[in-house]
Structure 1
Amino acid sequence: MTRIAVLTPDPADSSYAGQWPTVLERLSLALAGADITVVPTPWTDHVDRADGLSGYPLVLPLIVWGYHRDHGRWLQACATWVEAGVRMFNPPSVIGWNSDKAYLGRLADQGVAIPPTVWVEGVDQADVDAAFVRFGTEVIIVKPRVSGGAWKTLRLSRGERLADAPEGPAMIQPYLPSIETEGETSLLFFGGRLSHAVNKRPVAGEFRIQVQFGGQYAALAEPPAGALALAEKTLAAIDEDLLYARIDMAQGPDGGWLLMEAELIEPDFYLGSAPEGGHRFAEAVRARL
Structure 2
Amino acid sequence: MTHVAILTPDPTDASHGELWPTVLARLQRALDAVGITTTPTPWTEHIDDAAGLRDYARILPLLTWGYHRHHARWLRACRSWEQAGLPLANPAQVLAWNSDKRYLGRLAERGIAIPATTWTDDVTRAQLDAMFDTTGAEELIFKPSVSGGAWKTRRLRRGDALDALPDGTTMLLQPYLPSIETEGETSLLFFGGQLSHVVNKRPVPGEFRVQEEFGGLYTVLDAPPAAALALAEQVLAAIETPLLYARIDLVPDADGRWLLMEAELIEPDFYLGKDPRQGAGFAQALRDAIDAG
Name the TM-score, length of structure 1 as normaliser.
0.98
Q: Which moved more, 1:274-283 or 1:222-231?
A: 274-283
Q: Residues 115 and 166 of structure 1: is their aligned pair in 2 closer, same or farther, counting only changes over 3 Å?
A: farther
Report the equivalent of 1:8: 8
Structure 1 counterpart of 2:89, one-letter code: F
Report the equivalent of 2:148: 148
Quote how far apart the aligned CAs of 1:158 are: 1.6
Report the equivalent of 2:25: 25
Structure 2 counterpart of 1:246, one-letter code: R
Structure 1 counterpart of 2:184, one-letter code: G
- 1 CA distance for matches of 2:235 and 2:278? 21
Quote how far apart the aligned CAs of 1:126 are: 3.0
SS at match of 1:247: strand
Is 1:215 matched with 2:212? no
SS at match of 1:15: coil
Quote how far apart the aligned CAs of 1:165 are: 4.0
Sequence identity percentage: 61
Quote how far apart the aligned CAs of 1:16 are: 1.6
SS at match of 2:113: coil
SS at match of 1:107: helix
Report the equivalent of 2:184: 183
Structure 2 counterpart of 1:163, one-letter code: D
- 2 CA distance for matches of 1:71 and 1:82? 16
- 1 CA distance for matches of 2:64 and 2:277? 23
Is 1:93 matched with 2:93? yes
Report the equivalent of 2:267: 266
Structure 2 counterpart of 1:243, one-letter code: L
Quote how far apart the aligned CAs of 1:122 are: 2.7
Deviation sequence 1:163-216 (CA, Å, 0-9, x none): 254651011000000000110000000000000100000000000000000001
Residue ranges of structure 2 left out of the alignment (5+ in a row): none
Question: What are the equivalent positions in structure 2 for 1:172-251 lying under 5 Å apart?
Answer: 172-251=173-252
SS at match of 1:59: strand
Is 1:286 matched with 2:273? no
Q: Is the 8 A contact 1:196 1:277 kept in 2?
A: no
- 2 CA distance for matches of 1:137 and 1:159? 14
Question: What are the equivalent positions in structure 2 for 1:126-165 lying under 5 Å apart?
Answer: 126-165=126-165
Q: Is the 8 A contact 1:248 1:260 kept in 2?
A: yes
Q: Is the 8 A contact 1:152 1:165 kept in 2?
A: no
Question: What are the equivalent positions in structure 2 for 1:87-126 lying under 5 Å apart?
Answer: 87-126=87-126
Q: Is the 8 A contact 1:180 1:201 kept in 2?
A: yes
- 1 CA distance for matches of 2:116 and 2:92? 29
SS at match of 1:188: strand
- 1 CA distance for matches of 2:79 and 2:39? 22
Q: Is the 8 A contact 1:190 1:243 kept in 2?
A: yes
Structure 2 counterpart of 1:107, one-letter code: L
Quote how far apart the aligned CAs of 1:4 are: 0.6
Name the TM-score, length of structure 2 as normaliser.
0.97
SS at match of 2:15: helix
